[in-house]
Amino acid sequence: MFRWYVVNTYSGHENKVKQNLEHRVVSLGQQRAVRQVVVPTESVSEMKDNQKVTVEKRTMPGYVLVNMELNEDSWGVVKGTPGVTGFVGSSQEPVPLTQMEVDRLLHKEVVTAPRARAQFSIGETVKVVSGPLSDFSGEISEINDDAAKLKVLVSIFGRETPVEVGFDQVKKL
């Protein structure tokens, strides 16, 4: 029976392990036992040089998902792959994922827009470039990654006033 298993790898080597494992499956004739190898990722929007850029980020650094029928041979193929440190679970018996966990890790339940990620830090000085307060400068007091908004303390009439702006409405000074 085909189940999803989590394989522990060296962090940063997930794609290389995926390549090595897929190559080993073919060269050792285990295509019937190992169906799919996946590095879980998500699309994240980042601001780089005032441009919105979508990049792929690993959601589980150091892990790779393998859809396979667990038997002696397939276990040996995966375990013997360079960069693999073992299966998640007990040393004798790997623990398969539930269908709900697989859906969550592979983002099957809900297709959402890529989430924005702040390239800013609290206390940093920024300039508002669009909206009613454009050309004002201020210091970041809060960052809300989920809403892609910043709270910036802008000096208006000699008083610091908190203003909420989007990531794309400001630039670093």
pTM for the whole structure: 0.62
Per-residue model confidence as pLDDT tens for the chain (173 residues)? 899 999 999 988 999 999 999 999 999 998 999 999 999 888 887 777 777 888 888 888 999 999 999 998 988 999 999 999 988 887 678 889 888 888 888 776 444 455 556 688 899 999 999 888 888 999 999 998 878 899 999 998 889 999 999 888 989 88
Tell me, yes or no, whether 124 and 105 share the same domain: no
Tell me, yes or no, whether 111 and 123 share the same domain: no
Tell me, yes or no, whether 66 and 96 share the same domain: yes
Tell me, yes or no, whether 80 and 26 share the same domain: yes
Q: Report the SS3 class of residue 12.
A: coil
**Confidence (pLDDT) at 118:** 63
In angstroms, the first-to-last Cα distance of the chain is 57
Residue among 166, 168, 169 nearest 135 (CA): 169
CATH code, domain carrying 122: 2.30.30.30
- The range of the structural domain enclosing residue 127 comes to 118-172
Tell me, yes or no, whether 13 and 95 share the same domain: yes
79 phi and psi, to 5 degrees?
-65, -30
CATH code, domain carrying 12: 3.30.70.940
**Confidence (pLDDT) at 164:** 93
**Confidence (pLDDT) at 115:** 57
**Confidence (pLDDT) at 125:** 93
DSSP one-letter string for 113-173: PPEEE----TT-EEEE-SSTTTT-EEEEEEEETTTTEEEEEEEETTEEEEEEEEGGGEEE-
DSSP structural state of residue 87: E
**Confidence (pLDDT) at 110:** 43
**Confidence (pLDDT) at 103:** 84
**Confidence (pLDDT) at 28:** 92
Give the total number of structural domains in the chain: 2
**Confidence (pLDDT) at 109:** 44
